[in-house]
Amino acid sequence: MPGNARIFSSAAIARNPAWAQLLGLCPLLAVSNTVVNALGLAMASACVVIGSNVSISAVRRIIPDEARLPCFVLIISTFTTATSMLLEAFSYPLYLKIALFVQIIVTNCMILARAESFAARQSVGRAFLDAAGTAIGFALALIILGLTRELLAYASILRDAELLFGAAASDLQINFGAIDASGPLPLAAYPPGAFLVAGLLYALVNATLRRRQPAQTPTPKAMQ
């Protein structure tokens, strides 16, 4: 696989921030009760991780080692604040629903981890690919969890789509029962349900990955 494609796929799948590294779980569990909320947070996180990774890579040569961490936090918090302001200005109803979690993106270990371990050591192009992969990996985790929870809690998909896509998008909502009826597991809309669903999905992902790996027979040396 070519180097650039490997950087991207590794960040999105093999080192998926949510499922492989278990980073950024607080907003992941809190906001993923519907697909639309999950998409909103995924887009906000993508803006921050891509913007901060590219900026950190661009200025990496002028940042001395001793000032690395404060500079990274300064840059990440700038992008978080800017994203929050843009969301409040141009998507106010969605902002009211997810604002608290957009503000705490600044403390998301996923973003600082990519800045520290990759962006600070690589060129702008490679940092962009890594950030895009990380953002897509986090978005996939958010959307899969949001889709599962929304189906279980509300028996619908794309509930409140107008919050993200405008008034015309309210027709996008698909209901598998009566409108505003509960789904088979209303608990999935709440934090305890988020832990249960995320735990089950995590187990499913691990089981699938292990099944795809060839069985390893322990060597006599390893058994000693």
Partner 1 sequence: MVRVILSLLLIGGICGTLLVSIDKSTAATIAANREARARTLMLDMLGASNETNLEFHSEVFGDCQDWVFQRVQASGYAGLIDVLVLWRAATGGLQMRVTAHRETPGIGDFIDHARNPWITTLDNQPPVHYANLDNVSGATITTAAIRRAAQLASQQVEDYCAR
- State which residue, 11 or 36, has the beta carbon closest to partner 1: 36
Binding site for partner 1 (CB under 8 A): 30, 59, 62-64, 66-67, 70-71, 74-75, 77-78, 81-82, 85-86, 88-90, 92, 96-97, 100-101, 103-104, 191
Distance CA 176, CA 151 (A): 8
The number of helices, as runs of H, and strands, as runs of E, in the chain is: 10, 2
- 135 Cβ contact list (under 8 Å, min separation 6): 42, 45, 46, 49, 50
Distance CA 141, CA 147 (A): 10
CB of residue 211 vs partner 1: minimum separation in angstroms?
Answer: 35
CB of residue 55 vs partner 1: minimum separation in angstroms?
Answer: 8
- State which residue, 7 or 98, has the beta carbon closest to partner 1: 98
CB of residue 96 vs partner 1: minimum separation in angstroms?
Answer: 7
CB of residue 80 vs partner 1: minimum separation in angstroms?
Answer: 11
- State which residue, 101 or 154, has the beta carbon closest to partner 1: 101
Which structure tokens are listed for 138? Answer: 């986090």
Q: Which of 118, 128, 116, 124 is nearest to 65 (CA)?
A: 116
